Amino acid sequence: MRSLGRPLVSCRWRWDAVAVRAAYGRHAEGVGRGSLRHPQHAGCGQTVTSFGVPTSLYCGAGRAAVAVSKTPGQSSVSYDRRARGRCGLLAVAHRLCRRQIQCHRRPLSTKGRQMGELGMTIDGSSMWGRQTFGVVDPATGAVFAHAPVCTVEQLDQAMDAALRAFHEWRREDDVRRAALRECARVLLGALDELATTITAEQGKPRAASVAEVVAAVSWLRYYAELDIGREIVQDDRHGYADVVRRPLGVVAAITPWNFPVALAMWKLAPALRAGNTVVLKPSPYAPMSALMTGELLGRVLPAGVVNVVTGPDPLGDRIVTHPVPRMVSFTGSVVTGRRVAAAAAGGLKRMTLELGGNDPAVVLDDVDPEQVADDIFWAALADNGQRCMAAKRVYVARHRHDDLVEALAARARATRVGPGSQPSVQLGPLGNQLQVGRMAEYVRDALAHGAALAAGGTALDRPGYFYAPTVLAGATDGVRVVDEEQFGPVLPVIAYRDVDDAVNRANASDFGLTASVWSADLERANAVAARLDAGQVSVNAHAAGVRPDLPFGGHKCSGIGVENGVWGLHSFTDLQATVRPAPKRRRQTRTG
C-alpha cells in the first residue's frame, strides 16, 4: 500500500472488500483494506486511498469517486454530498479535511472501471468463469465488454448458495422489507452507471435507461411497503383456521434483453419480499447491467440471497431443469416460453411465463387522427417497438385510414434516430443484428402482399443496428407483420369496416397481452374495451397500467400467470392453511 502522508485517521472500511471488488472486478482479489490518510503535501489536502490507479469506488452508503495520483498533491476525492451523513468514512473525511476536500454533486463515474470486469454474483462473491463472451454495443456493432460464461459447477454453487440462504431469509418479514429499501437505495445511488450500461448494451436513449432504473427502484419500494396479511377464515368457539402465503424456495429468474434491469426487478422484488431466494439469468445480449445489479444488491443482501449468472444458452435450459429451483419466473418469447414450460413440467415446478404480444390499438371513427397520432406513434415505436406491450397493429375506420397513416408517417420521418448516448436522440439502434434482418423481412413480405410504405422501410446506412421508423399503409390480416409479433419499428395500419369487424380482427390472434381503444366517447370506448381479449386494456392510452400495483400478464399464448401487484407476489408463494382447535375455556365454578 502506498502512503502519501501521515495518517490522521485510519478508518477501516466496513464494505471495503465489496467496494474494492466492485471497482476492480476479478483483479481485486488480494487487495487490502483502504485507509483514510491526511496528506501533508502542500496544496493537496485531500483524501488518498492506496490502491494505486485512478478509479471510482463505491463507498458505503454513498458514492465516492477517488482519483489517486502517484504524484503527491494531485490526488482528489469527490463525492455525492447526499452521502455525507450516511457514510462513516465520508463523514470523517469531511470533518477532518472539510476545507480541503472538494465536495460537489457528482455521479459515480464509470471512467477507470472496465465494464468487462463485472463478475457474476454467486454466494456473495464476484466470480468469473473459465471463459467469457463478447457483448456488443448495438450503436456500433462492436464488442464493448465481456461477460463470464457460467460453468456447470458455478451454476451448482449458485443454486446451493441460494438454497442455503433461503432457510434464514424466509424467517423475518421485517428484515426483508428493510433489505428491499436498501436495495432501492443502492440502485438509485448507481443510477448513472446503470443507465450508461443499459444504453451501451441495449441501445435505448439514455433518458429511457434512466427511466428504466427509476422504475426498477419503484418496484423495490412498492414491494417493501406492501402489506401481506394472513387471512383468517374461522375464529370462533369451534376452532381457528387461517391461510398464509409461504415462500417456495429458490426461484430461477430468466429475463430478455429489452428491459434488463426493470424486468429483473419485476421478479426479484416480489420473490425476495415473499421470502424466496433467487438465481437470475439475464439475456446474453444484455448481461452487463444485470451483473452490475448483482454486485450492487450483493452489498446489502446476505450472501446467496440473489445470485446472478451469465452465459449463452443452453444456460437457460440448465437453470430450468436444475433440481434446486422450485419456481421458474420467465420473461421472453412465446417460442422459448413453450420450451421452458415443457422443461419445468418435468419437475412440476411453479412457473410464471410473461411472453410476447401482438397488441392491437383500435381507433374508433369519432377520433381526429391528428389528435391521437403522437400518442399512438410512441405507444408503438418507443424503444423501437421492442416492448412486449407496444402497440403492434393499428386498426382504424376505413374513412380515417389515410389521415392516420399520414399523421403517423410524419412523426416517423421527424424522429431523431442515433446512438442512445447522444442527448437529442429519440430512438436508438435495434437490440441486435438479428432484429434488423427481421424488420427487412417483414417489410418485404408486407409490400409483396399489397401494403404500401408510408415512411421508413430501410436499415440506416451507418455502423450499428439502425432501422428507420416505418409505417405501413393498407396492411391486412394474413401478412406476417400483422399476424406475428414484429418486436421492432415497423407499424402496420389496417382499415376496418365497422366496430364488430375491428374487435373480431383484434381478437383473432394467439396473443393477448395488452390492447387499447381510442375514442372521443368514453362510454363507447369502455364498451369496446370490455370485448378485447387481453391481460390489460387501456382507453385513450396504450399499456397505461404497467405499474407495480396492477397485475401484468398475458391471455392466450402471451403467458401464464401474472407479475406485479399483490397478485404477482402471490405467484412466488404456496398457500398454507393452518387449522387448530379453539382454546379451551375455563369452566366457571360456582361457589356458595
What residues are annotated to the active site?
A: 354, 388
- In whole angstroms, give the CA distance from residue 427 to residue 446: 23
Q: Interface residues for ligand NAD in 387-426 (CB under 6 A)?
A: 388
- In whole angstroms, give the CA distance from residue 351 to residue 14: 39
What is the three-class DSSP state of 157? Answer: helix
Q: Is 485 in the site for ligand NAD (CB under 6 A)?
A: yes
Q: 459 - beta bridge partners? A: 467
**Nearest by Cα to 529 from 307, 114, 541, 337:** 541
- In whole angstroms, give the CA distance from residue 432 to residue 464: 9
Minimum CB distance to ligand NAD smaller for 18 or for 319: 319
Q: Is 280 in the site for ligand NAD (CB under 6 A)?
A: no
Residue of this chain nearest to ligand NAD (CB atom): 316
Strand pairing report for 142-149 and 452-455: unpaired
Tell me the per-residue interface mask from 282 to 301 with ligand NAD, x by CB under 6 A, - otherwise: -xx-----------------
Minimum CB distance to ligand NAD smaller for 78 or for 386: 386
Stretch that binds ligand NAD, among 253-261, 402-410, 489-497, 520-528 (CB under 6 A): 253-261
Q: Is 205 in the site for ligand NAD (CB under 6 A)?
A: no
Least distance (Å) between residue 64 CB and ligand NAD = 34
- In whole angstroms, give the CA distance from residue 505 to residue 484: 13
Q: Which of 156, 317, 402, 501 binds ligand NAD (CB under 6 A)?
A: 317
Strand order in the sheet with 76-79: 57-59, 62-67, 76-79
Least distance (Å) between residue 265 CB and ligand NAD = 12
Q: Is 308 in the site for ligand NAD (CB under 6 A)?
A: no
CB 216 within 8 A of CB 264: yes
Least distance (Å) between residue 113 CB and ligand NAD = 25
The DSSP element (H or E) to which 22 belongs, if any, is: helix 16-24
Stretch that binds ligand NAD, among 5-13, 45-53, 351-359, 570-578 (CB under 6 A): 351-359
Q: Euclidean distance between the first and final Cα of the chain, in Å?
A: 89
Stretch that binds ligand NAD, among 141-149, 229-237, 332-340, 524-532 (CB under 6 A): 332-340
Q: Is 340 in the site for ligand NAD (CB under 6 A)?
A: yes
Stretch that binds ligand NAD, among 127-135, 141-149, 331-339, 449-457 (CB under 6 A): 331-339
Q: How far is CA 381 from the centre of its chain?
A: 19
How many angstroms separate the Cα of 59 from the Cα of each of 14, 34, 78, 302, 574?
9, 11, 11, 18, 39
- In whole angstroms, give the CA distance from residue 274 to residue 177: 10
Least distance (Å) between residue 160 CB and ligand NAD = 20
- Amino acid letter, 116: G
Q: Which of 157, 276, 331, 573 binds ligand NAD (CB under 6 A)?
A: 331
- In whole angstroms, give the CA distance from residue 93 to residue 351: 50
Least distance (Å) between residue 504 CB and ligand NAD = 23
- Amino acid letter, 530: A
Minimum CB distance to ligand NAD smaller for 284 or for 429: 284
Tell me the per-residue interface mask from 352 to 371 with ligand NAD, x by CB under 6 A, - otherwise: --xxxx--------------
Number of residues that bind ligand NAD (CB under 6 A): 29
Q: Is 256 in the site for ligand NAD (CB under 6 A)?
A: yes
Give the start-end residues of each E strand in 6-110.
Answer: 57-59, 62-67, 76-79
Q: Is 433 in the site for ligand NAD (CB under 6 A)?
A: no
Minimum CB distance to ligand NAD smaller for 108 or for 543: 543
Minimum CB distance to ligand NAD smaller for 340 or for 537: 340
Q: Which of 156, 242, 313, 533 binds ligand NAD (CB under 6 A)?
A: 313
Least distance (Å) between residue 45 CB and ligand NAD = 49
Q: Is 483 in the site for ligand NAD (CB under 6 A)?
A: no
**Number of helices (H) and strands (E), helices first, in the chain?**
17, 23
HEC per residue, 88-139: HHHHHHHHHCCCCCCCCCCCCCCCCCCHHHCCEEECCEEECCCEEEEEEECC
Q: Is 257 in the site for ligand NAD (CB under 6 A)?
A: yes
HEC per residue, 369-413: HHHHHHHHHHHHHHHHHCCCCCEEEEEEEHHHHHHHHHHHHHHHH
Which single residue is written with the C-alpha cell 424522429?
Answer: 415
Minimum CB distance to ligand NAD smaller for 4 or for 149: 149
CA triple 148-321-307, angle to 5 deg: 40
Tell me the per-residue interface mask from 555 to 574 with ligand NAD, x by CB under 6 A, - otherwise: ----x---------------
Q: Is 333 in the site for ligand NAD (CB under 6 A)?
A: yes
Q: Which of 4, 20, 248, 254 binds ligand NAD (CB under 6 A)?
A: 254
- In whole angstroms, give the CA distance from residue 511 to residue 240: 44
Q: Which of 209, 258, 519, 571 binds ligand NAD (CB under 6 A)?
A: 258
Q: Is 212 in the site for ligand NAD (CB under 6 A)?
A: no
Least distance (Å) between residue 130 CB and ligand NAD = 20
Q: Interface residues for ligand NAD in 494-513 (CB under 6 A)?
A: 513
Binding stretches for ligand NAD (CB under 6 A): 254-258, 263, 281, 283-284, 313, 316-317, 320, 331-333, 336, 339-340, 354-357, 388, 485, 487, 513, 554, 559
